[in-house]
Structure 1
Amino acid sequence: MNVYVNNLSHAEISGELRTAFEVHGTVASVTIITDEFNGRKRGFGIIEMPDEIEAKSAIEALEGSKIAGHDLHLSDRRAVSSRRVSRERRDDEERKQIGERRNSTERRK
């Protein structure tokens, strides 16, 4: 299960994150997201934990804890993905409606 970690320090903290999460179970990977153009850290990351129960335990225990002076905000990665999907669907609907309005306007001319 992937755990989304927000409000990360821009310092190198992947080791601290791994250590904090390993108290609650096995950590498969720690990924700190960086800007693709300048390589700077974007303030969030993903912790991959194979066991869902351990991951949920880590979320409950570490939510709001501090690493490098920053309060962590954690969530189940699936919850974040479902919000993104619903936003993408809404955007698709808006584009479709705009296209329909353009087509009906062009027919009137």
Structure 2
Amino acid sequence: MTLYVGNLNYRAGEQDLSELFSAYGEVKSVSLISDKFTGRSKGFAFVEMDEAAGNEAIAQLHDTEFMERSLVVNEARPRENRDFRGGNRGGGGQRRNDRGGYGGGRY
């Protein structure tokens, strides 16, 4: 079972989470999510445990304080498939005229 752990203090590390969750059973893995450009924690992680231990961790840790923050702990949902083919792709959106240039020819 994979748990979502949110509202983490940015100082929290994978070892901190492993120690916290190991009180409820064997922690198989901890993945602290960080920004790919800055390397700074995004304030959430995923913890993998067996189902019984995971359910106990949810019951005991959700909405409790850890490192001065109130944790959000629940079962992780599968990641949604992102479709980038539609919508605004940063191309400027709708244009009023096609003339280009400064002011679109309306000086």
Verify same fold: TM over 0.5: yes
Task: Please provide the CA RMSD for this pair.
Answer: 2.1
- TM-score, structure 2 length as denominator? 0.70
- TM-score, structure 1 length as denominator? 0.69
Whether contact under 8 Å (1:10, 1:42) holds in the other structure is: yes
Q: Which residue of 2 aligns with 1:106?
A: none
Whether contact under 8 Å (1:16, 1:67) holds in the other structure is: no
* Shift of residue 44, structure 1, vs aligned partner: 0.3
Letter in 2 for 1:44: F
1:8 aligns with 2:8: yes
* Shift of residue 15, structure 1, vs aligned partner: 2.3
Summarize the alignment of residues 15-26 of structure 1 with structure 2, pairs less than 5 Å apart: 15-26=15-26
Q: Which residue of 1 aligns with 2:96?
A: none
| Structure with bigger gyration radius | 2
1:48 aligns with 2:41: no
Summarize the alignment of residues 26-41 of structure 1 with structure 2, pairs less than 5 Å apart: 26-41=26-41
Matches of 1:38 and 1:17, distance apart in 2 = 21
Whether contact under 8 Å (1:24, 1:57) holds in the other structure is: yes
Letter in 2 for 1:52: E
For residues 45-99 of structure 1, the C-alpha deviation after alignment (integer angstroms, 9 at most, x for no partner) is 00011x1111011111100111110110011113xx26x35xx58x98xx49xxx
Whether contact under 8 Å (2:7, 2:69) holds in the other structure is: yes
Query: SS of the counterpart of 2:47?
Result: strand
Q: Unaligned regions of 5+ residues in structure 1, if any?
A: 97-109
Off by >2 Å, runs of 4+ in structure 1: 12-16
Name the structure where helix makes up a greater proportion of residues: 1
Q: Which residue of 2 aligns with 1:61?
A: 60
* Shift of residue 31, structure 1, vs aligned partner: 1.1
